Amino acid sequence: MDKDKFTSTVQKFVAIEAVGVSALRRQGKGVLGEIRAYLGQLDLRLGNIKTKDQFIEWLDIQTEKILDQLPVKNRPWGAARKAINLFLRGCLYNKYLCEEYNLHNYENWMEIPLDSAVVKGLRKELENIENKKLIKRISSWPGLKYLKKETSDRYQEIAELIAAQNNLEAKVHLDIILWLENR
């Protein structure tokens, strides 16, 4: 198997492995399969992205493209965004994909995949640092199916702060800690 075929196969594997059935349960018939298929062929050559704003714009575009592929009438923005964030984290943690696409260059800009367990952990961490101002900025968790960009952005800001306070390189790594602690 040549290197390109191997890399493509690894990417498809990571798309399936990273976005498991439980990650997107109750999002609608066919949603999981379509999202995995999209991520399995996503172009991960991000060399033209030089700033955090450009990365977030790319992430927003990919989220919308995923939504355009879904076989459901509602547009579950939260599910699409969680899936791409899980996938990117999986690619970052995969030696072959990370090296091939230099994903370590984007590590600090990657988002934490949001779900109820992670949000519970973020709230708990905020209480530990006793930041009442930030706690008020977090609205109640709408559920993955109803999550919108504005609410997600607020949670991402909180995650960045908490990751820094926990001496983590990037907020994307906070996911594995919070998810395990709040299952």
Residue extents of the structural domains in the chain: 3-109, 116-181
* pTM of this structure: 0.92
Cβ neighbours of residue 116 closer than 8 Å, sequence gap 6 or more: 141, 143, 144
CA distances from 126 to 14, 114, 119, 151 (A): 32, 16, 11, 16
Residue among 131, 136, 135 nearest 165 (CA): 131
Residues 6+ apart with CB under 8 A from 6: 96
Token pair for residue 54?
């450009």
Q: What sections of 42-173 are H helices per DSSP?
A: 52-69, 77-93, 95-101, 116-128, 132-137, 149-165
Per-residue pLDDT tens, the chain, 183 aa: give them.
899 999 999 999 999 999 988 877 776 677 888 999 999 999 999 989 999 999 999 999 999 999 998 787 788 899 999 999 999 999 999 999 999 999 999 999 999 999 988 988 888 888 776 656 666 667 688 988 889 999 999 999 999 999 998 899 899 999 888 878 866
**Which DSSP state fits 102?**
T
Q: Residue 52's pLDDT is what? A: 96
Tokens standing for residue 158: 């909180």
The distance of Cα 41 from the centroid of its chain, to the nearest Å, equals: 17
Q: Which amino acid is at 89?
A: R
CA distance 66 to 39: 8
Residue whose tokens read 């999981």: 32
Any residues with CB less than 8 A from the CB of 86 and at least 6 apart, and which? 18, 19, 23, 113
